[in-house]
């Protein structure tokens, strides 16, 4: 009898371990990051039917606009710094980083000289193009089967929180995360209902720090207000 109970208990433990979602990431080295970037990156390109060639490289590039990633407008390379490795917990978060950069990469095909000077658009108005890339990244991730809430969790771990953005070319990360949340809330509400990130500590922290802003979003939805909310600091 004890043997039977032991076997039943062992089987139940195996079922629970399989059913429980895991956020552990098995990528530890630059070579492993490169392999996973290729897998995730090309999956995003193919499932979204992106007819623009881009490649991916894990390398410590010196001149980058962001602290973890960049896109070359000359040879259409998406660069990711291996220093980001300790911050990534799953493929969803890698997909978030790559999707945002892919959106910038697609923009490099637009404009004069086959997009050669397209990088000037980002230098002149980085805020506009970052917010545009965030929305595209959400769409890319959903189409490729990744959870776009990972875009919020990775930003919450990496993005620096400055005091003001009135005199800056970049939106405060707290506001940027809210705009991503609002886009998901509006276009993909089912993701928030069946939320696999509800127990993720970085997502929970976002919910904590964005409580007042999310109340503003609810007021906007109830009132039918259509203009952009000026989310709080």
The least confident of 40-44, 175-179, 220-224 is: 220-224
Q: How confident is the model at residue 143 (pLDDT cuts 50, 70, 90)?
A: very high
Average pLDDT value for residue range 170-176: 85
**Rounded to an integer, what distance in angstroms lies between the CA atom of residue 194 and that of residue 170?**
32
Whole-structure pTM value: 0.83
The β-bridge partners of 58 are 80
Choice between 2 and 41, residue whose per-residue pLDDT is larger: 41
**Rounded to an integer, what distance in angstroms lies between the CA atom of residue 29 and that of residue 83?**
10
Place of tokens 């010196």: 62
Average pLDDT value for residue range 68-92: 87
Apex 41 CA angle, 39 and 42, nearest 5? 70
For the cut 60, the answer to whether the pLDDT of residue 214 exceeds it is: yes
What's the length of the chain? 233
% of the chain residues with pLDDT over 70: 76
What pLDDT does residue 216 have?
92
Show me where the domains of the chain are located. Answer: 23-223
The β-bridge partners of 57 are 79
Helix (H, G, I), strand (E, B) or coil at 11: helix
DSSP 146: -
**Rounded to an integer, what distance in angstroms lies between the CA atom of residue 218 and that of residue 181?**
12
What pLDDT does residue 23 have?
42
**Rounded to an integer, what distance in angstroms lies between the CA atom of residue 173 and that of residue 101?**
17
3-state secondary structure 148-198: CHHHHHHHHHHCCCCCCCCCCCCCCHHHHHHHHHHHHHHHCHHHHHCCCCC
């Amino acid at each position: 009898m004890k043997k039977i109970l032991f076997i039943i208990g062992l089987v139940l433990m195996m079922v629970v371990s399989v059913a429980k979602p895991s956020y552990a990431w098995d990528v530890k080295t630059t070579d492993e990051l490169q392999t996973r970037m290729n897998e995730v990156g090309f999956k995003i390109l193919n499932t979204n039917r992106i007819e623009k060639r881009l490649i991916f490289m894990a390398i410590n590039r010196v001149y980058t606009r962001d602290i973890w990633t960049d896109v070359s407008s000359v040879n259409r390379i998406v660069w990711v710094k291996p220093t980001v490795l300790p911050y990534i917990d799953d493929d969803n978060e890698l997909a978030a980083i790559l999707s945002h950069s892919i959106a910038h990469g697609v923009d490099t095909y637009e404009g004069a000289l086959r997009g050669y000077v397209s990088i000037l658009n980002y230098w002149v108005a980085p805020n506009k193009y970052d917010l545009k890339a965030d929305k595209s990244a959400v769409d890319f991730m959903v189409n490729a089967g990744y959870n776009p809430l990972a875009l919020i969790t990775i930003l919450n771990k990496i993005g620096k929180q400055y005091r003001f953005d009135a005199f800056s070319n970049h939106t405060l990360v707290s506001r940027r995360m809210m705009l991503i949340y609002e886009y998901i809330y509006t276009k993909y509400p089912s993701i928030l209902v069946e939320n696999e990130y509800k127990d993720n500590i970085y997502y929970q922290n976002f919910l904590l720090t964005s409580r007042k802003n999310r109340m503003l979003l609810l007021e906007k939805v109830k009132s039918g207000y259509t203009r952009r909310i000026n989310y709080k600091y």
